[in-house]
Structure 1
Amino acid sequence: MQRYAAGAPAGSPIEPWAVDSPSWDPAAAALPSETWELLQRMPKAELHLHLDGSLRLATALELADGLGLVRAGSDADRLGWIRDGLVAPRAVRDQMALLRAFDLPVALMQTEAALERIAAELVEDLATDGTRYAEIKWAPTLHVRQLSLHDGIAAVVRGADEGMRRAPGVVVRLVAVLLRSHAPELGVAMAEAASGFVDRGLTGFDLAGQEALHPDPALHARAFELARGAGLGVTIHAGEWGGAAQVRRAMKVGTSRIEHGAPAWDDPGLLRELIERAVTLDLCPTSNTQAGIVGRYEDHPLPRLMRAGVAVTLSTDDRTVSDLSLMREYARAHASLGVTLPELWAIDRHALDVAFLHHEEALRARLRDEFEAFGRGEPRLAEG
């Protein structure tokens, strides 16, 4: 059964929202049309978005066909097979189960052409969502079975550039992700390779992967040091396993942003440290619910963290894995978490403040001016 989000504005790019989608939210779907229209027009910034979790289904099917991975069947059956491989269930057992949704995308993204295409298409998709600034993450070492590390990175850089050419309203910067399972020597090599693209739009360095098997980010201290020295912003995925203790471990490495980090709510001392050190949590409530970090979307601590004084941003994590757009995530936060429109607007603008644009302050200022101009014309976004 397919349904459109109730009240979606005429001409909206909102796609059919299936009731069995991992992001389906009846409260969000029932929002008034004027709220959907505002969320669509609102200029948005997204800081936590993975390239290999955000493929178009049709593109994935075409690439899988080319590799002989798709069994014979009707078009609907074939597309259903691709969807089953790319979209995770509403809830999985743990982080490792969720990560299996990346097996097929990684297999498809092993050529320069595929990397370029998928990066360009993601930028175009962001434009339909009203996104003005986004940081797209990917793990370069996962996509170099046939390529050098340099050539794989260069392909994504070219794809992002092409996407911005096709969708000139979107500004994208890239974040290279190091996997926790990598040997420290490989982390150093990746930091060195990423550093060569700082002036071509690669502005961040991240650590992600299986926390349960590789809990200590300090193993990659040298890679972080090299990345910082090259001018890359550093962030770390933490708290998808192991609770608040994992967020504390990430804090010890020294980072201004943490990807996820929702379990910090359970540790009052950690909350104080996050506030004192002005560390931002890049939160993804739908993805966190899928991964079992919270039992229900409605229980996600985002509003409590924010109202306690912790800086947060709001992102999708993976558009395809969660069958999600940023507008839907905003609508869910508003309808099911009780985040007010002025609070959403404050979260949105804060994302620009902490974006990895350290060497592009003029661009940051221009985007801020654009956002502020929009807000001045929208009384519903003003603090009450």
Structure 2
Amino acid sequence: MPLSGYTTLRLGGPATRFIEARTAREVVDAVRGADSSGEPVLVLGGGSNVLVADEGFDGTVVHIASKGVTEDCTTPGLVQLTAEAGENWDDVVAKTVAAGLGGLECLSGIPGLVGATPVQNVGAYGVEVAEVLVSVDLLDRASGEVRTLTADQLGLAYRTSVLKGTNRAVVLRVRFELADTGMSAPIRYAELANTLGVAPGERVPVDRVRQSVLDLRRGKGMVLDEDDHDTWSAGSFFTNPVLPRGELDDAVARIAAHVGPDVRIPQYPAEGGGKLSAAWLIERAGFAKGYPGPGGRVSLSHSHTLALTNRGDGTTADLVALAAEVRDGVHKVFGVRLEAEPVLVGVTL
């Protein structure tokens, strides 16, 4: 089963064995069965944050396709939303907005499935899943048991959790707590606030926020479109570098020496230090939008330098070569190391 048809990059070779699990029970049975046989297992969701080798995966791929969304009133003004891991993330966000529930609207348009959101602590436009996450049900692969972990137990931080980068657990369903006021969370992201015509900190009807976020993401090639190769990507390929205060000051000094003292260097607060803009660093290091990789088969998006795209006939090897060139170029110019955001399967960077 070629995995290219199951990833948003449209890249990846065949799997030795492919199982589509349509319920949480089927997910548990498939993973337990593969684990007991000792064969390698790859749990695949929407394929929006994964890069699979051209050689494919020599083992069992369990494709999560479980469905179901329920709502329960917990306390006055709040609704607990429970979604199965195989639900399409943006479909769930759209349902919450249509129901007048606030909390997920800034995360509109993000590709992938619900089960990946707590693993990655998905975030965009000033909001992270951590802010509304209640708990997850997961399969503990070491014990074979199904357990519930609260948000506090997941070690949620910038684009990560204790589940990221490991294969010790499989998320089965996720619970969120949302407000039923019809209003958004406070708007924190300056670009979104400007688009909405409001001051940072204001609340806006959730449907207005969703539409504005979708418009912004489309303008950056970040909403999937079968006919637009600029959207054949894994979203942002690199995370924004988060540095301790001392390292951040040193990095800013190096950057200023290169771009000049009068150029504003984007930086944002982060626990223990600050965060730099990976997209800004990439562009200032000489990699413009549309910068081509090997043979032009892959390139940086023509809309956003953080997205590495398959132009239709690219290979995983092509994309890895482009990613390495960008990463090494930024490090050579600024001394800042970029880290890849997607899960790498059978490849190294």
TM-score by length of 1: 0.30
TM-score by length of 2: 0.33
Which structure features the higher share of helix residues?
1
